[in-house]
Amino acid sequence: MGFEMAARLARGGADLTVWNRTRAKAETLTKYGARIADDLPALAACDIVFCMVSTWDDVRQVIAGPAGLLSVGAAAPRMVVECSSISLEGSAELRALLSARGIELLAAPVSGNAKVIKAGRLSFVCSGPRAAFEAALPYLRMIAPSASYVGEGELARMVKICHNVFLGVVTQSLAEITVLAQKAGVPRHAFLDFMNQSVMGSAFTRYKTPAFVNLDFKVTFTPYLLRKDLDLGLDAGRRYGVPMPLASITRDVVQTLIGRGMTDEDFAKLLVLQADASGLKLESENVEVSDGL
Ligand SMILES: NC(=O)c1ccc[n+]([C@@H]2O[C@H](COP(=O)([O-])OP(=O)(O)OC[C@H]3O[C@@H](n4cnc5c(N)ncnc54)[C@H](OP(=O)(O)O)[C@@H]3O)[C@@H](O)[C@H]2O)c1
């Protein structure tokens, strides 16, 4: 995700310095004009720092860890735009520790995978000071056509958690009905062709279609990250007194995927799990299908 976001910033004309833990993965960004930083504190001289890692623990490590962004001297950026999918509590803790150094935080999680970013279809949902949102907007627009401002504080995290609960539930449901249709005799490509054009079809059902039809499970989002987001959703449901029966079942289905060792594969493997549970051995249909991007 971070790579494609950085590529769009650099191509959009931003004066960009990039750091990635595995430096080699960032190196090709230099062809778009980005500089590669040797360490995180080198980014403290930047005006705005975008952060895209995995979990809140990783965010804390890269921002406030012993070798993190703020670990050397008094230099500090004006603003951090934090885009990882993290909890409300983590985001609030981040806001407090940045604020103590006079740095603003824009919480800016995203909807869309790396291919969606490349296709220029990513969406940001943002919260924090309105002025910080306005200041970051020209850069957000280089990465994505849409950036919704939903309010102060950590509200964007709540929206992103809701979004990803929906992602998990919809994917599991799509896996169930695709396997059901196939067992009854309908090829997956024919079934999804109809679904994608029906009122129930969406950008998401379209871009998951190649995975479902041709079993192309090149990772876009891991079951591990999806489980994290479903857990965040269930935690929020408990806190706000909202029953979430579908999210709860989906969380355990994703856990089963992980328990079977599919930790680092694409979460679309929910289809394979569903087929296994239905006594169906899936094979690629080898049909050219569009991902709609
Ligand atoms: N993939 C999606 O479809 C998608 C969509 C929306 C939101 N998200 C969210 O976006 C975030 C990133 O997802 P992703 O799919 O890009 O994950 P990913 O492919 O696993 O990449 C994670 C990135 O974070 C870095 N990282 C992780 N832990 C780190 C640490 N402790 N210190 C330094 N660097 C660390 C990794 O560095 P290395 O290269 O060295 O491993 C890598 O650059 C997650 O919060 C995810 O939930 C993902």
Task: Please give the share of the chain, as a percent, with pLDDT higher than 90.
Answer: 93
- How far apart CA 270 and CA 151 sit, in angstroms, is 34
Task: Please give the share of the chain, as a percent, with pLDDT higher than 70.
Answer: 100
Average pLDDT, the chain: 96
Does the pLDDT at position 73 exceed 90? Answer: no
160-197 tens-digit pLDDT: 999 999 999 999 999 999 999 999 999 999 999 999 99
The pLDDT of residue 13 is 94
Q: Is the CB of 40 under 6 A from ligand 1?
A: no
Which protein residue's CA is at the shortest distance from atom 23 of ligand 1?
53
Q: Is the CB of 113 under 6 A from ligand 1?
A: yes
The pTM score is: 0.90
How far apart are the CA of 54 and the centre of ligand 1, in A?
Answer: 4
- Output DSSP code: residue 78: S
The pLDDT of residue 293 is 87
Q: Is the CB of 268 under 6 A from ligand 1?
A: no
- How far apart CA 5 and CA 221 sit, in angstroms, is 16
The pLDDT of residue 249 is 98
Does the pLDDT at position 152 exceed 90? Answer: yes
Which runs of E-coded beta strand occur in the chain?
17-18, 35-36, 48-51, 79-82, 104-107, 110-111, 123-127, 146-151
Which tokens sit at 133? 């949102």
How far apart are the CA of 256 and the centre of ligand 1, in A?
Answer: 22
Which atom of ligand 1 is the closest one to the Cα of 57?
A: 31
Give the residue carrying structure tokens 């799509």. Answer: 174
Radius of gyration of the chain (CA): 20
- How far apart CA 149 and CA 133 sit, in angstroms, is 7
Angle, CA 154 vertex, CA 150 and CA 155 arms, to 5°: 35
How far apart are the CA of 264 and the centre of ligand 1, in A?
Answer: 12
